[in-house]
Amino acid sequence: MSDTTPRKRRGDSVIDGDSARNGGTGDGARASDGAKDRRGSTATTSRLSTRLARLLNMIPYFQANPGISAAEAAAELGVSTKQLMTDLNQLWMCGLPGYGPGDLIDLSFSEESIEVTFSAGIDRPLRLTSLEATALLVALRSIADLPGMVDPSAAHAAIAKIESAISGREFAGPLPVPVEAPAVATVRSALEHDHALRLVYYSASRDVVSERVVDPIRIVLVDNNSYLQGWCRQAEGVRLFRLDRIEEATALDEPARPPAEAAADETAALDLFVDDPAVPLARLRIRPDYAWVLEQYPMHKVTTHPDGSVEATMRFATLDWMARLLLGFGAGVTVLGPAELVTAVRERSGSALAAYAGLEEVGPA
């Protein structure tokens, strides 16, 4: 059957009707919504990073598969046909400095066939400067230390090769790789093979260990910690499970089946501390020399008093956990409300003082 669909080349309009309605990028509607979304910059950054990685992979992919159809390519790349066509339009705007004819990536494509006519050098091996190689090494070491983000053996092999290239020494093979936690290895394997998981998980916010069945979706990085993003069958919603708090993980002999909408939403549950009015809200007064707690905990500053102290609020899951946290700050943080939290902190501190008084009465042995 002959190709009757018009093929797009440079000089044609680079924005189709759907893209124009979405602001010209295909992700426009989502980006616009994301700007107003309570998840804010974390969600937007995650989405843009994913798209950037996809765009960088497209040129070598299409060069290795010339003439592939849009439907087949979209299936292999894990996107919709509409998103793929939008990405191809975006690639037209990328290239070498100068950004004129002969500088920008050029493609000829329709839904029946896609071909790269000018790669702008993306197909050539990357030559790193010493500064770029050092930055890459730092980034690789950082991500290799985060559980579950990459295959440790692959990351350390890449580190060894880059170090060898910088030093000019012959590559002698990677150094011994740190042993990956069994639970983390199981999670990565389940993601790769699309299996459901049974997790034994410690929840720091509730100070409890629970067992639950999860349909894994992806591993994400939030606030320098790696999390499994998955559909929790008990909660019937997307949840984040910090990988270093997964005590046990067992791959089940059944496929993962998260709802399509949940799997498609890359930003679901990325805000770990949603300002949910159903969750209790603590009101706190923080001394000036304890202002650092505002950066270490999910607190929202309300006002600053003349003496430099700060009034702030913080959501908490359980009364016991919040009371223990506040007792650890001593006199640096004063609880203003709610009343039940004030009472809990007062009773716990009173019990602690009574225990110390009893030790003083007994005296040394």
DSSP, collapsed to helix, strand or coil, labels residue 82 as helix
Is residue 177 domain-resident? no
Q: Are residues 245 and 161 part of one domain? A: no
Q: Are residues 136 and 108 part of one domain? A: no
| Sequence-ordered strand ranges (E) for 34-174 | 106-109, 114-118
Is residue 125 domain-resident? no
The CA-CA-CA angle for residues 164, 168, 170, to 5°, reads 60
Q: How far apart are CA 203 and CA 213, in angstroms?
A: 15
The predicted structure's pLDDT at residue 32: 35
Q: Are residues 111 and 33 part of one domain? A: yes
* Number of separate domains in the chain: 4
The predicted structure's pLDDT at residue 142: 82
**Omega before 338 within 30 of 0, i.e. cis:** yes
Q: Is 323 left (phi over 0), alpha (psi -120 to 50) or beta?
A: alpha
Tell the residue number behind the tokens 């990085």, with chain if given. 221
Q: Are residues 215 and 158 part of one domain? A: no
The predicted structure's pLDDT at residue 254: 94
Contacts of 56 (CB under 8 A, 6+ apart): 122
The predicted structure's pLDDT at residue 318: 82
Q: What is the CATH number of the domain that holds 89?
A: 1.10.10
Looking at residue 9, what DSSP letter applies?
A: -
Contacts of 230 (CB under 8 A, 6+ apart): 197, 214, 215, 216, 217, 238, 239, 241, 258
Structural domain range at position 70: 17-118
Listing DSSP states for 247-277 in one string gives EEEEEEEEE----HHHHH-TTTT--SS---T
Residue 221, both tokens: 């990085």
Query: pLDDT, tens digit, for every residue of 154-167?
Result: 888 888 888 887 77
Measured in degrees and rounded to the nearest 5, phi and psi for residue 350 equal -65, -40
In Å, the largest CA–CA distance within the chain is 98
The predicted structure's pLDDT at residue 306: 94
Q: Are residues 226 and 137 part of one domain? A: no
pTM exceeds cut of 0.85: no
Is residue 6 domain-resident? no
pLDDT beneath 50: ranges in the chain: 1-45
Q: Which residues pair with 312 in a beta bridge?
A: 284, 301
The predicted structure's pLDDT at residue 7: 47
Q: What is the CATH number of the domain that holds 251?
A: 2.30.30
Is residue 270 domain-resident? no
The predicted structure's pLDDT at residue 79: 82
Q: Are residues 231 and 190 part of one domain? A: yes
Q: Are residues 198 and 260 part of one domain? A: yes
Is residue 106 domain-resident? yes
65, containing H or E segment: none
Is residue 178 domain-resident? no
Listing DSSP states for 270-319 in one string gives --SS---TTS-EEEEEE-GGGTTHHHHTT-EEEEE-TTS-EEEEEE-S-H
Measured in degrees and rounded to the nearest 5, phi and psi for residue 292 equal -60, -25
Is residue 98 domain-resident? yes
Is residue 176 domain-resident? no
Q: Are residues 161 and 102 part of one domain? A: no
